[in-house]
Structure 1
Amino acid sequence: MNLPISPLAWSVPKVRYAAMVAIALCVLGWLTFDLWQLQQGLSVSQPAPTINESRAIPADQPLNIAAVASFLGVQQQAGDEASAADTPLTLLACFVERRQDLSRALIQSPDASAFYRPGDSLPGGGTLTSVSTDEVLILRNGRRQTLTFAAPATPLFIASPPQASAASAMPSPTIENPL
């Protein structure tokens, strides 16, 4: 293949081929340089980390239970279990979504009313577990409890007895035969 000396005289396919070869060589050079840098970084020996003996806890010293519980994300309940179970809670409203984490419950405690979602801590040391249309489940002191709506003091709807005169006043259906 005789290539002309001047690149301007080359045809379009030959220019494309030369450009692809140049790009491939550039990428190959870049990858080679990165590999060389990686190899240089790995060959430098770094000192092994040392343990600071002054900060280590002696084996004969007991662990701080409150610190371990806090580290693991466990909440310590203030007061005894009886006072936590005596905290009255009233379910005021439930807002249920298809995704349970988007559901909310309006719960009233002696202090205030607030919206809670599953996983939130409730006044008195409980945790809201799930929300449904007519009740919420609470985990309190390791026991599951159900909180439902309070029954209304007065009935919302009063059923009236059927009226006999209204039933007799209605016409009875008749079928007429045109033949």
Structure 2
Amino acid sequence: MSAQEKLDMRVDRPEMTETRELRLLYGTYADILFVLLPFAVVGMFKLWNVGLEPFLLSYDLSLAAAVLGGLAVVKFLLGMLVDPTMAKHREWITFLVAGTFFLILAPSLLFSVLVMLSEEPPKWVMFIQPLLVVLGITAYSSAVLASNRLRKDVEQRVFDEDVG
């Protein structure tokens, strides 16, 4: 199939692109649920035994945020390394990786260690840890979407060059 036929197929059938994006989103959310499942089971067990406040003051949520932040970093890097044409976006991807380290990964790991080492963590920790989990979920979803969007931009440029 020539480049022109592929471009025509994409132009004539935009629902294929939308379907592909929806499948990507569903796959991303399935990954997130799969990663969070063990933490949810342990969390429900702790909620049942000790209640909400001790659960929010434990290190589990920080650990879950760190795992999601690590997955986001890996997804950003894979998005850049898998496709050699993605090297054009290496500054942007480097910025996203650094932001993920700075905003999610380092604070999550720091909170999990500090909570484990302290006898009684401060009460404000129970507000920060859920925020870190939400940031981790957002970072992972954004990593998948950004990698897909950048890859689409590269594909479109290749098609435009072949057609032109």
* TM-score tier (shorter): under 0.3
Using the size of structure 1 for normalisation, the TM-score is 0.20
Structure with higher strand content = 1
Q: Which has the higher contact order (CA 8 A, sep 6+)?
A: 2
Structure with higher helix content = 2
Using the size of structure 2 for normalisation, the TM-score is 0.21
